[in-house]
Amino acid sequence: MTESLRVIKARRTTLENVWRLLKTAPLSAWFGMIVILIYAIAAIFAPWIAPYGEAQIIGKAYEHASDTNILGTDQLGRDLFSRLIYGARNTIGIALVTTLVSFLVGGSLGVLAALKRGWFDQGVSRVVDAFLAIPVLIFALMMLAVVGKSVVNLVIILALLDATRVFRLSRAVALNSVVMDYVESAKLRGEGMRWIVFREVVPNILPPLITEFGLRFCFVFLTISALSFLGVGVQPPTADWGSMVAENKTLITFGNPAPLYPAAAIALLTVAVNFVVDWFLQRTSGLRDGK
Amino acid sequence: MASEKKRVKGDALLEIRGLKIDGKSDDSWNPIIKGIDLTLKRGEVLGLIGESGAGKSTLGLSAMGYARPGCRITAGSINFDGIDLVTASEATRRGLWGSRIAYVAQSAAASFNPAHHLIDQTVETAVSHHIMSRDKAEADARDLYKRLQLPNPDTIGLRFPHQVSGGQLQRAMTAMAMSCRPDLIIFDEPTTALDVTTQVEVLAAMRDIVEQFNTAAIYITHDLAVVAQMAHRIMVLRYGNLVEEAETRAMLKKPTQEYTKSLWAVRKLQKKESPSKDIILDISAVDASYGNGTKVLDNVSVKIPRGRTVAVVGESGSGKSTLARAITGLLPTSSGSISFNGKPLPRALIDRDKDTLRRIQMIYQSADTALNPRQRVRDIIGRPLEFYLGLKGANRDRKVVELLESIELDESYIDRFPSEMSGGQKQRISIARALAAEPELIICDEVTSALDQIVQEEILQLLMKLQKDTNVTYLFITHDIATVRAISDEIVVMHKGKVVQQGLKSKVLNPPYPAYTELLLSSVPEMDPDWLTNLLVKRKKAAV
Amino acid sequence: MHPVLKTVLQRLGLGLITLFAVSIIIFSSLQLLPGGYAQNILGQGATPELVANFNHQLGLDRPAPVRYVEWIGNALRGDFGNSYSGTTGTIKRSVSAIIAPRLYNTFFLATMAAVVAVPLSLILGVLAALYRNSWYDRIINGLTLTTIAMPEFFIAYILMFFLAVQHRWFYTLSTVSENTPFWEHISRAALPAATMTLVIIAHMMRMTRASIINLLSSPYIEMAQLKGISKSQVIIRHALPNAWAPIATVIAFNLAYLVVGVVVVEVVYVYPGIGQMMVDAVSSRDMPVVQACALIFAATYILLNLLADVVAITTNPRLLHPK
């Protein structure tokens, strides 16, 4: 675009920029952000919001919805609504931790591989390629069979598997940045690895990685839910949406929609995150379109 | 061939009146073309010239009634031979496209479909518009290939686009445009991507065929010397407005507007050469190759005198950028030696000490990729000060401001990000970053070729001023002979990894020439509208 | 050698190496456990004799490389050993015998879904690309994005709840056996197939749309338009010949996805396929069955991607017509 335009656009504070950005957000992105906010509140303040305790038995099994328990009770007579709220904390928490570990491992290996190249890059890339050839869900199932079901195992296995995907992406975006002249210029100056990684490369690959974080979170979240649903993920009595669907699934054949609630809770969050990510993606690719 | 272009008289073929076009960026519409009138007569060639962002491509395409996705025509009329292309139906426009108005794009390699033979793509227009039978169209295509001086005109059509060279592809696209003998052809920077020696052949072939069929043309370019060869009349555009319009010779002789005059300016810049025997960098019999074994530097020896500017000139693939990589140690040489201030320079970057690194700095072609978009000017210029000279805090900032002043920017720029500056300003920051290290040698890799003409001149002048002040040595890598003329003391001509010639500017730019230097120098278009014609006559004579 | 053949062979070789690497990963996953598999299964209280006996019974006391060669050699011949859970005393249940009918069922289900989903999503995706930013495109975009974001079991239960429970149009559970007649098999597998179809269509449409848009923004497509060729000709003559590679990639990616998605859907509908079997085996830690299933899933996945690459190579004009 013309140079004058660019110069005029200079000089705005971060806060102003964020507000300007938000103003351009489409309805779907707003919807997504509000949903995420509500989930976050539910997860953080679960003990204050939920009418009953996580494992508190308040009545008979499979009671229908009433004034005291608005969604009814589960197979052990626990309040479904309370467990839904606690589920937010557990399910989202586990997925978030997994994704963070996955990004820490995969991201740092990816950036390192892009910078070092040579045998390190070759070695890690080949191993990752082999792991990429096995679907995550299948691999996770197999590993859980070997090491046994527990939340810690679940987090470690999924984080490592997902890290292979993160490695691929962060290596690719880091490679784009590493070939830039400003990195070469830093090398010519004689800068060490630390400066090059943290001052030259990382600030430039952060935006795409943040977008990817949203997508990876959704994927991890869905995979954990699926594993829990299959009975090999989060184990009772922890309130977890995937297991809650499995625990109450027989109800559906009797026309009781109880198992649909936790499933819907999962769906709503991933849809919300996807809407926000989609908006980010369109913003970045839209610039290319407008040429 | 005709040595003098005919003054073309005839009725108007294309009339554009009050045309306005908006383009979309960041979700808002901004004007690209701000009300332009244009008249083109039958058989006339009109040159559209301007710098990046002038709107010349958008205007050229609008002559077809076409607006790229993300652009829209908001006002005005485009009358092509009695048809208003703005209001015409899509079917009407499509009926004209290819048959009566044709388009030749900048990148032939991207504009040919990789999946089809050249001849299939050449005849497609004529056949699908039912102008010719397929057999007739193919025979005609072969004839056009011959007229455009393509090698093996009878069989070249059976090749795929990736099987022929860039210059040949560009001529094949001209044949494709010519296949229906259109009334008007739009040439959109058709030679910009080509090397200068290839450009001559393509220009000659295109001019010739347009003349033979008396086709009207709009020739879009940013290169004045090229447009001088091709056009009868020139329109100068800037920021979507018309600056000046005149017959080619008249405009070259006497431009009336300040802006037009300034476009000529860089050619006037001339440094007086001064010889020197004090050698700062001595490259001797250096070989270098990339991982796959292809030799990119072959026995290269160059001597660079202190405080002078040595220009390394060559076409793409000549090895001139590789030479820079060998000097900086990014690509360790495989044999030969490089000595700096009389001491041998370690081959690889990692073996060099900090002080050696400080003394050799580099400036890149594109400041967009050379400056970290996430760093402010304060850090970009401040880092070498801190790293090499140990300056910190207020001392560092003071020095940054000083450097900003030396590159003619005020201190308010210190908090800016690269995206908040213009192309020229960014290149100045790159220069300041190199200067901050207080180097003895600066390698300038095509530092002006991504910039507009006027900005180029400013940057070159700045570099010369800085050399006068600090006695820094420049190794100036470029493909542009005009730049070489402007700033060098000595010139190194490179071709296919070898040094063809090194010497003082006056010696290299004057006869007797080695064969390649002559070819290279004679291929650089000049402002004289008769240059191409004369050159062709001369080459023909030499060939006989 | 012709470059196409050379590249295809290279790619096949790479596929074989990947398969080999994957088989090693799958095999060696069992060795990762500290204290060994037996200790883990039998519990901390197990006596060394018990552990040794257990290991001997399962042949786990021999060196790992020997067991790998034996395992992969037998696997190539279709023999995956004996199931742990069914092995009591002298009665041995061969894994292959358990898997075979279930593999057929899964294949049946996946084919049903693919037959509907592939053509439908290609057509819808191309349409969305051609009418980019229209209302159709926007609605499709929102719908597919929503579908992709949902867990498969949610979609499955929604369909079950409304189509099989509230209205008794379909079977709630998809129990089939070897004796189930073909058409009944189809009607019993209808809901799981529909679930898979919905999920795949969403993914595939978006990918098709993206790759077609990418294709249509090529300069040679603009050139073709400016040659005055009709819209349909631009698509058929200029876009299509270059579309095979991206389309093959999209199809392979989604069929591979189908293979994985089948696990959850089979469990929801209690459909006796290989996915449900794997989940059961995981719960009972029946390793020969788990490994056999993992190998089959991974091999299918690798094979599909290999096919897509071969299509891409054999339709690439630069390779077909070398300089």
Cβ-Cβ pairs closer than 8 A, A with C, add up to 145
Confidence of residue B173 (pLDDT cuts 50, 70, 90): very high
Taking contacts as CB-CB distances below 8 angstroms, the residues of chain B near C218 are 110
Beta-carbon contacts of residue A21 (< 8 Å; ≥ 6 apart): none
Asked if B97's CB is within 8 angstroms of C225's CB, the reply is: yes
Task: In whole angstroms, give the CA distance from residue B505 to residue B275.
Answer: 10
Confidence of residue B265 (pLDDT cuts 50, 70, 90): low
Taking the CA of residue C270 and the nearest CA in chain A, the distance in Å comes to 12
* A3 pLDDT above the threshold of 60: no
Asked if C149's CB is within 8 angstroms of A273's CB, the reply is: yes
Q: Please state, as a whole number, how many other Cβ atoms lie within 10 Å of the Cβ of residue C31.
A: 13
Beta bridge partners of B154: none
Taking contacts as CB-CB distances below 8 angstroms, the residues of chain B near A10 are 416, 420
Asked if C263's CB is within 8 angstroms of A137's CB, the reply is: yes
On whether the CB atoms of residues B39 and B14 are closer than 8 A, the answer is: yes
Tens digit of pLDDT for each residue in B32-56? 999 999 999 998 999 999 887 788 9
**pLDDT at position A291, please?**
26
* B478 pLDDT above the threshold of 50: yes
Q: Which residue has the tokens 């690497």?
A: C21
**Nearest-CA residue of chain B relative to C323?**
B163
CB-count exposure of residue A6 (10 Å: 0-12, 13-18, 19+):
middle
Q: Which residue has the tokens 């554009």?
A: B16
- Which is it for strands B473-478 and B441-445: parallel, antiparallel or unpaired? parallel
Taking the CA of residue A172 and the nearest CA in chain C, the distance in Å comes to 19
Q: Does A281 contact chain C (CB < 8 Å)? A: no
Picking from B92, B111, B164 by the largest number of C CB atoms within 10 A of its own CB, the best residue to mutate is B111
On whether the CB atoms of residues A165 and A106 are closer than 8 A, the answer is: yes
Cβ-Cβ pairs closer than 8 A, A with B, add up to 77
Confidence of residue A68 (pLDDT cuts 50, 70, 90): low
- The helix (H) or strand (E) run that includes residue B310 is strand B309-313
**Nearest-CA residue of chain C relative to B111?**
C220
Give the DSSP per-residue string, B506-525: HHHTSSS--HHHHHHHHHS-
Confidence of residue A284 (pLDDT cuts 50, 70, 90): low
**pLDDT at position A9, please?**
43
- Higher-scoring residue by pLDDT: B209, B27: B209
Tens digit of pLDDT for each residue in B405-423? 999 998 899 999 998 888 8
Asked if B53's CB is within 8 angstroms of A2's CB, the reply is: yes
Closest CA to A230 of A247, A216, A218, A217: A247
Q: What average pLDDT does range C267-295 have in this prediction? A: 87
Confidence of residue C91 (pLDDT cuts 50, 70, 90): low
**pLDDT at position B431, please?**
95
Give every strand in the sheet of B295-305, ordered side by side. Answer: B295-305, B279-289, B335-340, B343-344
**pLDDT at position B253, please?**
87
Length of chain C, please?
Answer: 323
Q: Please state, as a whole number, how many other Cβ atoms lie within 10 Å of the Cβ of residue A3.
A: 17
Q: Does C290 contact chain A (CB < 8 Å)? A: yes
* B442 pLDDT above the threshold of 80: yes
Confidence of residue C33 (pLDDT cuts 50, 70, 90): low
Q: Please state, as a whole number, how many other Cβ atoms lie within 10 Å of the Cβ of residue C290.
A: 29
Asked if A130's CB is within 8 angstroms of C260's CB, the reply is: no
Q: Is A75 helix (H, G, I), strand (E, B) or coil?
A: coil
Q: Does A141 contact chain C (CB < 8 Å)? A: yes
**pLDDT at position A289, please?**
34
Give the DSSP per-residue string, B2-23: -SSPPPP---EEEEEEEEEEEE
**pLDDT at position B5, please?**
40
**Across A10-24, A131-145, C234-248, least confident range:** A10-24
Q: Does B128 contact chain C (CB < 8 Å)? A: yes
Tens digit of pLDDT for each residue in C5-20? 888 998 899 889 988 8
Q: Does A182 contact chain B (CB < 8 Å)? A: yes
Confidence of residue A150 (pLDDT cuts 50, 70, 90): confident
Percent of chain B with pLDDT over 90: 61
* B4 pLDDT above the threshold of 50: no
**pLDDT at position C35, please?**
58
On whether the CB atoms of residues C40 and C33 are closer than 8 A, the answer is: yes
**pLDDT at position B144, please?**
92
Please name the member of A135, A231, A255 whose beta carbon is closest to the beta carbon of C297: A135
Q: Alpha carbon of B343 to those of A106, B281, B288, B335: distances in Å?
A: 45, 9, 20, 17
CB-count exposure of residue B258 (10 Å: 0-12, 13-18, 19+):
exposed
Taking contacts as CB-CB distances below 8 angstroms, the residues of chain A near B371 are 182
Q: Does A247 contact chain B (CB < 8 Å)? A: no
Cβ-Cβ pairs closer than 8 A, B with C, add up to 74
Instruction: Look over chain B and give the mean of its residue pLDDT values, rounded to a whole number.
Output: 89
Beta-carbon contacts of residue C106 (< 8 Å; ≥ 6 apart): C262, C266, C273, C274, C275
Beta bridge partners of B72: B22
Q: What end-to-end distance do the CA atoms of chain B give, in Å?
A: 16
**Nearest-CA residue of chain C relative to B106?**
C219
Task: In whole angstroms, give the CA distance from residue B56 to residue B236.
Answer: 9
**Residues of chain B that touch chain A, judged by Cβ-Cβ distance less than 8 Å:** 23-27, 30, 53, 69-70, 239, 328, 330, 349, 352, 354, 357, 360-362, 364, 366, 369-375, 383-384, 387-388, 416, 419-423, 433, 437
**pLDDT at position B76, please?**
92
Q: Does A181 contact chain B (CB < 8 Å)? A: yes
Confidence of residue B3 (pLDDT cuts 50, 70, 90): very low
Asked if C25's CB is within 8 angstroms of A130's CB, the reply is: yes
Q: Is B459 helix (H, G, I), strand (E, B) or coil?
A: helix
Report the amino acid identity of residue C68.
Answer: Y
CA C142 to the chain's CA centroid: 25
Q: What average pLDDT does range C202-218 have in this prediction? A: 88
Task: In whole angstroms, give the CA distance from residue C77 to residue B499.
Answer: 64
Asked if B114's CB is within 8 angstroms of C227's CB, the reply is: no
Structure token pair of residue B183: 């009334």
Residues 200-219 in A contacting B (C-alpha not used; CB under 8 Å): 200, 203-204
**pLDDT at position C269, please?**
87
- Higher-scoring residue by pLDDT: C38, A185: A185
**pLDDT at position A5, please?**
40
Closest CA to B372 of A285, A198, A192: A198
Q: What average pLDDT does range B431-436 have in this prediction? A: 95
Q: Does A249 contact chain B (CB < 8 Å)? A: no
Taking contacts as CB-CB distances below 8 angstroms, the residues of chain C near A242 are 151
* C140 pLDDT above the threshold of 60: yes
Structure token pair of residue B319: 């090895």
**pLDDT at position C150, please?**
87
Phi–psi pair at B282, nearest 5 degrees: -120, 110
**Residues of chain C that touch chain B, judged by Cβ-Cβ distance less than 8 Å:** 218-220, 222-230, 233, 237-238, 241-242, 317-318, 321, 323
Asked if A142's CB is within 8 angstroms of C22's CB, the reply is: no
Residue C59 zone, left/alpha/beta (φ > 0; ψ -120 to 50; rest): left
Asked if B384's CB is within 8 angstroms of A189's CB, the reply is: yes
Please name the member of A131, A146, A249 whose beta carbon is closest to the beta carbon of C33: A146
Q: Is A1 helix (H, G, I), strand (E, B) or coil?
A: coil
Q: Is B322 helix (H, G, I), strand (E, B) or coil?
A: helix
Picking from C223, C234, C316, C319 by the largest number of B CB atoms within 10 A of its own CB, the best residue to mutate is C223
**pLDDT at position C44, please?**
67
Q: What average pLDDT does range A183-212 have in this prediction? A: 90
Percent of chain A with pLDDT over 70: 88
Q: What average pLDDT does range B208-237 have in this prediction? A: 92
Asked if B115's CB is within 8 angstroms of C241's CB, the reply is: yes
Q: What average pLDDT does range B328-334 have in this prediction? A: 91
Question: Apex CA C100: angle with CA C97 and CA C103, to 5°?
Answer: 150
* B292 pLDDT above the threshold of 80: no
**pLDDT at position B80, please?**
92
Q: Does C151 contact chain A (CB < 8 Å)? A: yes
Give the DSSP per-residue string, C171-198: -SS----TTS-HHHHHHHTHHHHHHHHH
**pLDDT at position B241, please?**
92
Beta-carbon contacts of residue B229 (< 8 Å; ≥ 6 apart): B203, B207, B525, B529, B531, B532
DSSP letter (8 states) at residue C235: I
Task: In whole angstroms, give the CA distance from residue C58 to residue C60.
Answer: 5
Structure token pair of residue B223: 């290169």
On whether the CB atoms of residues C115 and A1 are closer than 8 A, the answer is: no
Q: Please state, as a whole number, how many other Cβ atoms lie within 10 Å of the Cβ of residue B336.
A: 17
Q: What average pLDDT does range B464-490 have in this prediction? A: 91
Task: In whole angstroms, give the CA distance from residue A56 to residue A76.
Answer: 9
Asked if A188's CB is within 8 angstroms of B357's CB, the reply is: yes
Q: What average pLDDT does range B77-102 have in this prediction? A: 91
On whether the CB atoms of residues C212 and C245 are closer than 8 A, the answer is: no
Taking the CA of residue C5 and the nearest CA in chain B, the distance in Å comes to 18
Asked if A182's CB is within 8 angstroms of B370's CB, the reply is: yes
Q: Is A159 helix (H, G, I), strand (E, B) or coil?
A: helix
**pLDDT at position C37, please?**
67
Beta bridge partners of B242: B237
**pLDDT at position C96, please?**
84
